[in-house]
Amino acid sequence: MLKENLYKHHLILASSSPRRHQFFKDLGLNFEVLLKPIEEIYPEYLQRHEITDYLSVLKAKPFYTGLKENSILVTNDTIVWHKERAIGKPKNPAEAFTMLQSMSNTSHDVISSICFTTRHKQIVVNTETKVTFKELTKNEIWYYINNYKPYDKAGAYGIQEWIGAIGITKIEGSYNNVVGLPTHLLYETLNRIANS
C-alpha cells in the first residue's frame, strides 16, 4: 500500500543498520542505502528527544546538495535515556557491563527520531518506549556480552536478542522502536509526504 503511494519517489535510507534495512524491506519499500560520514556530536544542554531530533537532522545535512526533486531522504537516531542522561553505544566489554548493570532492576526510555528530507521540506518525528529490566545477575550480563557483543547498540543491548528474552519484564510503547526504528511513524509520515 505504502509502496504504491511512493511510486513517484526515490527513497533513500542513510543508515548502515541491518535492522533498519530489514524494517524497510518488511514494509515492502523500494529504497537505496547511501552513507555519508558524520560526527555525531550534539550540544550538552539538549535533553531526551531534543538529542535525537538534532542528530537525525545533522545526519541529513551532507545530503542536502545532492537531493533530486523526487527524493525522500530518511535519517534516524536512537538513544537510551537512563537516570537523566543519554547512554550511547559501548566502546568495550567493560562499558557494556557498566551500562547493563546500571539498567538492571530499573526502567529506561528508548527515544528515537526520524528525519524526512526532500528538496522543499523537512519533517522530524519522535517517540519514546519505556523498557523495564528484571534484576540481572553478573553472570547473565557477561554471558550476553561475550556471546552477542552488543557494541553497535545504544544501551549495550538488543531487545530481540537473548537479553531481551530473559531480562525484559515490561515494555510500554513501540517494540520496533527499541529494535531500532519506530516503523509506525515511518509508515505514517511517508504516507503523509506521498499524499501531500
Active-site annotation, residues: 77
Distant-in-sequence contacts of 151-155, Cβ < 8 A, 24+ apart: 151/89, 151/90, 151/91, 151/92, 151/96, 152/17, 152/89, 153/89, 154/78, 154/79, 154/80, 154/87, 154/88, 154/89, 154/110, 155/80, 155/82, 155/87, 155/99, 155/103, 155/108, 155/110
Residue 97 to residue 100: CA distance in whole angstroms:
5
Say how far residue 65 (Cα) sits from the centre of its chain: 25
For the chain, the C-alpha Rg in angstroms (whole number) is 17
Angle 113-118-119 (CA atoms, 0-180°, nearest 5)?
145
Q: What is the DSSP letter of 66?
A: G
- Residue 99 · residue 151 · CB < 8 Å: no
Whose cell is 539538549? That residue is 46
